[in-house]
């Protein structure tokens, strides 16, 4: 009878016929021992047999016992693939027990062959050859283990497997020591099961060395002793001694006579075994290498021919094998080692789907990725791999874990029609249709017209406040009213009149009876909503303690000092009216008994709301103050988030007015405060994009959540148990966070504008969001489901060796053909090599392909992938420059970046006007250099990566040593903006506005080579050829100019039809000029239309004719690069896209997806095999570009 168990109901003991996890069918019990049971299972998806070693539950009675097993299983997993070692494919925890899935060897054990006499079939010479063959292979297998630092400690015929061809494989590596925790033998254990001796490991007494029996230290020579006892048994046909140390006496008897049915022991072999059976380990051979060499000599002498099997080598892992190793390490509780193995898998194949998925799951669960980022990573290779079904399958599994069951079902239903017999897909589809996972969706969307501002001019502090039961909402309005809404129906219940200017900040009591509001009329008003009347109007208190104009003058002075020092500063300063109230500062506690607000000079006013009585004035913080009241009204929490003043967080006792807790120089500043439902916890948002959750009773931070840089937080709801956060963003996203793991469980999309208010139900099942897009949404939050890891189908040692040898042979032949000038033949050979399983992106084949690209013609982009993704401070957001300002995109000014020709080093200018130097090969930031320049505009590395030249908005160009960071030279100009460098960083083209000229300088010789007239008052683009002979400029007069720098003449002038050119460059052969432009804002109705009209154009650099208008570029360009062969253009834009264009057709052939918040920097290597990008979300990416190649046409 077949019984099926899913992962959550797997029994500790399996029976023949069981189907485990809808994947493994138990077909046979192969053996029982003290460790547990070995099963033969059929993997239904792969149609392959595996051996599963299931430990006894007794092994896991304690944490220490489980840890010991884990260590030993991990060792076996890490052994790699060797033909004489039984391969451990992976480890999976099923039913709470880590189970080892190993290679199934159908021939049984050497002990089976001895007992059933298969070992002794044939004449004496054939039997002797067979025994020596097994002995040699055992020696090779043990030597491989010893080279990996592993001592088996239980070598015996029962742990040697033989297949039908006679290949011997040592098994049960790494499990010997784990047997120490088994306690007692299983009653069903066979007579030769391993016994337990203190300190002796899980040895079997008949094969144990003297040091094992005597509990002395163990080493490689322990295995050599047990190996010799095992070889002896092949000649005796049975164990005829009590314990391993007495086997030597039996060997002496074997010298004198042979056993019937077994061959006699040859004297040379007897001498070798005698040396291995010495009582003292130091007298035995030191290594299995010597034993194996001696056996080869004995074989040739006795059999009369050389030993036929070649000496084996371990097989190199491909991505599949690294993936399985990583999964095993993760299942064994080794996440750091697992991540390293995943890195190896993706180094072997950067687009390996299974490793991308598994590694992404690990990083997502550890809080290093969001759910959206993981889905993007899985979908990344879609264009390159032809939208394989695996992408949809893996995406569906992620959707189920993030609770988007509807999306998962849609994908799985498609796949079920395409692949009806796939058990993994069937299991996933059945799970998605069950009630096991709640479908986390928006199930109510109510339109409520609570704001009438245009979407691009909604006031920053515009408030929506909800009652805790989710029934009512209170809003301010541009028409001076305060409005009460039923959020279930969207009906306006009341419109309260009284304010004389717009109303921004409001709050409401939990029962919906009381409200408070403030706005631009410099009053705070109390409302009785039950009768719809104003209770009181309180004017904002005038400035106090000289905190008004004097403070503003001091702020101006501090701002100028920060600007001069190159620190973050305001780019412009806005002034609040003297009586203006701080943003979002009016607050009412839950029962409406306490009202408070913060004023611009830092004071916090506290009122008894029902009694209409002023209680306290608290001396808070001036400038950008945030203030919140606890639900019960006993506490207030206030903070200051400005850059120019030291941030402070303060907790106030509202019964006494005392500050009971104060944190000076609060890390990250304070830009938002939200109390938890009970008032004992509070979430504080900093300008560093970190939410810190504070236990206010204990005065300690209990959670620190670093948010993605592009997630501009507008609202937060903390769960009742303080384990989860619901976060609303400026751009409409709602995200659900697990604070225990700092993990984004789900990103909800639907709102089109900032999410101003959030609620959570006490059971964490539902969330409510209110947005300034005039909607409220109710979200079902995700449940608990873990997407299963995906194991790669394991390959045998022989398969991997064949693949490796075949690939090496093809690549070697291709390199020879390339050297001989037969480029077409070389391409064909490398195509064959890359078509081998797991070799398409293998480093050896890919390197040869790239090298060949220098002689071949690129015809298209076959694939592209991010080789490195690194977090760094890059483009400056408006929020960083001017706290409180908001924008839907980051600044469009390009962040200067560059990289070496071999993509080994990358540099960028960050938002603190410093230069970061990155070792891209190792993914490590090597150094940060402060060049002392403002607003860095250009960087260039020398080809060898030893020096770097830097220009900024100012009057200097500096040269630095990359290795030491030392400034080697400084060239001063009256003004130097913009600047362009040659590709080798030797030449600089400088527009000197003060001199109204354009200067060409040799930076190494520190001399001016040419002076040209200025190309215009405002130069918008500048480019310099690598040889310094040509330059391109674009200026505010709507002209592009091509310059001959040798003669100083303008060769060509191209009008740009009232468009502003932001980037331009020339092909290496000088034939074509490419530029990116957009209409001037004054010429079009709206900036949005100007962005949509942005274009890339190509001109004939001789005639000036426009030869190509590229397909629309949806947003302004940040940067533009032309490949050296002139066939392809790479562009970056403020719409977060990096695009690769075919210059011959003007069509975009690939989007390099995954960028966020604008792509502000772009560089490519001269061979166009790598691109380096810097994003507005503080992320650097090194892209590998894999080009299609063909043989070039022969001239003549």
Give CA–CA dist 682/635, Å, rounded. 11
Give me the helix-helix angle, 353-365 and 319-331, nearest 10°: 30
Residues whose CB falls within 8 Å of the CB of residue 1079, separated by 6 or more in sequence, listed in order: 1058, 1059, 1060, 1089, 1090, 1093
Give CA–CA dist 503/521, Å, rounded. 8
Give CA–CA dist 518/483, Å, rounded. 13
Residues whose CB falls within 8 Å of the CB of residue 700, separated by 6 or more in sequence, listed in order: 694
Nearest to 895 by CA among 567, 1160, 1137: 1160
| Length, in residues, of the chain | 1196
Q: How far is CA 799 from the centre of its chain?
A: 32
The two structure tokens encoding residue 834:
């890359």
Give CA–CA dist 17/1, Å, rounded. 6
Q: Of all helices (H) and strands (E), which one includes residue 309? A: none
Contact 179, 156 (CB under 8 A): no
Cis previous bond, 978, omega within 30: yes
Burial call 58-84: b when 16+ CB within 10 Å, e when fewer? ebbeeeebbebbbebbbbbbbbbbbbb
Nearest to 501 by CA among 473, 465, 537: 537
Contact 950, 957 (CB under 8 A): yes
Q: How far is CA 119 from the centre of its chain?
A: 53
Burial of residue 304 (CB within 10 Å: 0-12, 13-18, 19+) is: exposed
Give CA–CA dist 318/841, Å, rounded. 10
Give, rounded to a whole angstrom, the gap between the first and last alpha carbons of the chain. 77
Q: What is the DSSP letter of 541?
A: P
Give CA–CA dist 151/147, Å, rounded. 10
Q: Do the bridges between strand 775-780 and strand 857-871 make them parallel or antiparallel, or are there none, so unpaired?
A: unpaired
Q: Of all helices (H) and strands (E), which one includes residue 127? A: helix 124-147
Give CA–CA dist 673/1130, Å, rounded. 43
Give CA–CA dist 1048/1027, Å, rounded. 15
Nearest to 192 by CA among 241, 253, 139: 241
Three-class SS of residue 240? coil
Burial call 519-549: b when 16+ CB within 10 Å, e when fewer? bbbbbbbbbbbeeeebebebebbebeeebbe
Give CA–CA dist 1083/472, Å, rounded. 46
The two structure tokens encoding residue 603:
């004071």
Q: How many CA atoms lie within 13 A of 232 on its CB side?
A: 32
Give CA–CA dist 210/281, Å, rounded. 9
Q: What is the DSSP letter of 284?
A: S
Tell me the residue ranges of DSSP E strands in 977-1026.
979-981, 987-992, 997-1002, 1007-1013, 1019-1024
410 is in an annotated binding site: no
Could you list the residues known to form a binding site for ATP, using ranges: 53
């Amino acid at each position: 009878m077949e019984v099926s168990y899913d992962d959550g109901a797997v029994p500790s003991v399996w029976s023949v016929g069981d189907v485990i996890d809808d994947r493994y069918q138990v077909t046979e019990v192969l053996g029982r021992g003290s460790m547990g049971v070995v099963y033969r299972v059929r993997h239904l998806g792969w149609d392959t047999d595996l051996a599963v070693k299931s430990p006894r539950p007794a092994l896991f009675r304690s944490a220490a016992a489980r840890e010991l097993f884990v260590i030993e299983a991990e060792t076996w997993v890490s052994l790699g693939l060797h033909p004489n070692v039984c391969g451990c494919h992976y480890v999976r925890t099923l039913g709470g027990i880590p189970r080892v899935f190993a290679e199934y060897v159908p021939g049984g054990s050497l002990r089976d062959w001895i007992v059933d006499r298969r070992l002794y079939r044939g004449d004496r010479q054939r039997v002797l050859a067979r025994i020596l063959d097994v002995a040699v292979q055992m020696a090779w297998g043990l030597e491989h283990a010893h080279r990996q630092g592993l001592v088996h400690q239980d070598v015996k015929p029962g742990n040697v497997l033989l297949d039908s061809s006679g290949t011997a494989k040592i098994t049960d590596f790494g499990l010997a020591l784990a047997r120490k925790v088994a306690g007692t033998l299983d009653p069903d254990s066979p007579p030769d099961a391993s016994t337990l001796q203190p300190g002796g490991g899980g040895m079997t007494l008949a094969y144990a060395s003297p040091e094992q029996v005597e509990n002395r230290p163990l080493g490689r020579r322990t295995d050599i002793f047990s190996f010799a006892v095992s070889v002896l048994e092949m000649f005796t046909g049975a164990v005829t001694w009590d314990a391993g140390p007495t086997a030597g006496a039996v060997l002496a008897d074997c010298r004198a006579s042979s056993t019937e049915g077994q061959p006699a022991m040859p004297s040379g072999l007897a001498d070798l075994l005698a040396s291995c059976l010495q009582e003292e380990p130091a007298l035995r051979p030191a290594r299995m290498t010597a034993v194996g060499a001696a056996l080869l000599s004995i074989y040739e002498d006795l059999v009369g021919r050389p030993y036929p099997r070649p000496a084996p080598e371990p097989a190199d892992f491909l991505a599949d094998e690294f993936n399985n190793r990583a999964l095993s390490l993760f299942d064994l509780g080794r996440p750091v080692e697992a991540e390293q193995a995943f890195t190896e898998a993706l180094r072997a194949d950067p687009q390996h789907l299974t490793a991308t998925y598994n590694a992404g799951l690990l990083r997502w669960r550890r809080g290093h990725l969001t759910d959206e980022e993981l889905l993007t990573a899985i979908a990344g290779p879609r264009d390159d791999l032809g939208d394989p079904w695996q992408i949809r399958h893996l995406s569906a599994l992620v959707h189920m874990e993030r609770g988007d069951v509807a999306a998962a079902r849609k994908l799985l239903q498609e796949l079920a029609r395409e692949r009806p017999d796939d058990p993994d897909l069937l299991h996933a589809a059945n799970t998605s249709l069950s009630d096991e996972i709640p479908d986390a969706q928006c199930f109510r969307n109510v339109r409520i017209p609570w704001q009438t501002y245009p979407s691009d001019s909604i006031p920053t502090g515009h408030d929506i406040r909800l009652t805790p039961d989710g029934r009512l909402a209170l809003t301010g309005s541009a028409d001076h009213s305060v409005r009460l809404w039923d959020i279930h129906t969207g009906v306006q219940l009341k419109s309260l009149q009284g304010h004389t200017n717009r109303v921004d900040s409001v709050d409401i009591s939990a029962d919906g009876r009381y409200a408070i509001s403030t706005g631009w009329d410099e009053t705070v008003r109390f409302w009785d909503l039950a009768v719809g009347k104003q209770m009181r109007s309180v004017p904002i208190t005038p400035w106090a303690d000289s905190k008004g104009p004097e403070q503003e003058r001091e702020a101006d002075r501090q701002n100028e000092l920060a600007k001069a020092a190159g620190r973050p500063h305001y780019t412009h300063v806005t002034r609040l009216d003297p009586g203006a109230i701080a943003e979002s500062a009016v607050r009412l506690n839950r029962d409406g008994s306490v009202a408070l607000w913060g004023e611009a000079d830092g004071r916090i006013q506290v009122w008894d709301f029902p009694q209409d009585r002023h209680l306290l004035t608290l001396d808070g913080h001036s400038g950008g103050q945030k203030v919140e009241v606890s639900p019960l009204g006993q506490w207030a929490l206030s903070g200051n988030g400005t850059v120019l003043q030291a941030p402070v967080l303060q907790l106030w006792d509202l019964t006494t007015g005392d500050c009971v807790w104060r944190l000076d120089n609060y890390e990250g500043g304070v830009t938002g405060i939200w109390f938890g439902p009970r008032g004992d916890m509070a979430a504080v948002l900093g300008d560093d994009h970190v939410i810190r959750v504070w236990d206010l009773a204990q005065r300690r931070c209990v959670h620190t959540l670093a948010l993605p840089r592009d997630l501009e937080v507008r609202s937060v709801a903390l769960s009742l148990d303080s384990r989860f956060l619901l976060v609303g963003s400026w751009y409409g996203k709602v995200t659900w966070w697990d604070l225990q793991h700092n993990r984004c469980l789900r990103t909800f999309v639907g709102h089109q504008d900032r999410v101003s208010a959030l609620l959570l139900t006490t059971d964490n099942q539902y969330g409510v969001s209110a947005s300034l897009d005039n909607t409220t949404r109710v979200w079902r939050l995700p449940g608990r489901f873990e997407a299963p890891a995906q194991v790669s189908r394991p390959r045998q040692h022989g398969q991997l060796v064949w693949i490796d040898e075949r690939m090496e042979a093809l690549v070697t032949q291709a390199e020879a053909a390339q050297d001989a000038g037969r480029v077409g033949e070389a391409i064909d050979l490398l195509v064959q090599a890359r078509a081998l399983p797991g070799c398409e992106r293998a480093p050896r084949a890919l390197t040869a392909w790239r090298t060949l690209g220098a002689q071949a013609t690129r015809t298209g982009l076959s694939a592209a992938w991010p080789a490195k993704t690194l977090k760094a401070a890059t483009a400056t957001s408006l929020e960083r420059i001017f706290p409180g300002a908001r924008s839907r995109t980051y600044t469009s000014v390009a962040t200067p970046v560059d990289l070496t020709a071999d993509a080994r080093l990358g540099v960028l200018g960050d938002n603190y006007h410093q230069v970061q130097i990155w070792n891209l090969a190792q993914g490590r930031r090597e150094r940060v250099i402060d060049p002392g320049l403002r607003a860095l505009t250009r960087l260039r590395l020398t080809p060898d990566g030893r020096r770097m030249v830097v220009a900024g908005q100012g009057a200097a160009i500096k040269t630095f040593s990359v290795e030491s960071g030392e400034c080697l030279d400084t060239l001063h100009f009256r003004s130097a903006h913009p600047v362009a460098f040659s590709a080798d960083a030797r030449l600089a083209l400088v527009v000197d506005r003060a001199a109204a000229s354009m200067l060409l300088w040799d930076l190494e010789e520190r001399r001016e080579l040419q002076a040209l007239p200025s190309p215009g008052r405002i130069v918008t683009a500048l480019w310099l050829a690598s040889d310094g002979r040509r330059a391109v400029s674009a200026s505010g007069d709507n002209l592009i100019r091509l310059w001959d720098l040798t003669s100083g003449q303008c060769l060509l002038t191209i009008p740009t039809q009232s468009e502003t050119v932001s980037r331009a460059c020339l092909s290496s052969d000088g034939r074509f000029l490419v530029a990116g432009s957009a209409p001037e804002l004054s010429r079009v109705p709206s900036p949005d239309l100007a962005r949509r009209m942005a274009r890339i154009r190509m001109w004939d650099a001789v005639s000036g004719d426009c030869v190509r208008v590229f397909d629309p570029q949806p947003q302004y360009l940040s940067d533009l690069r032309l490949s050296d062969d002139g066939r392809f253009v790479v562009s970056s834009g403020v719409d977060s896209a990096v695009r690769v264009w075919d210059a011959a057709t003007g069509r975009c052939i690939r989007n390099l997806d995954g960028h966020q918040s604008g792509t502000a920097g772009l560089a490519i290597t001269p061979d166009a095999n790598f691109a380096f990008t810097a994003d507005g979300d503080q992320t650097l990416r090194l892209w590998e570009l894999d080009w299609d190649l063909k043989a070039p046409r022969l001239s003549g």
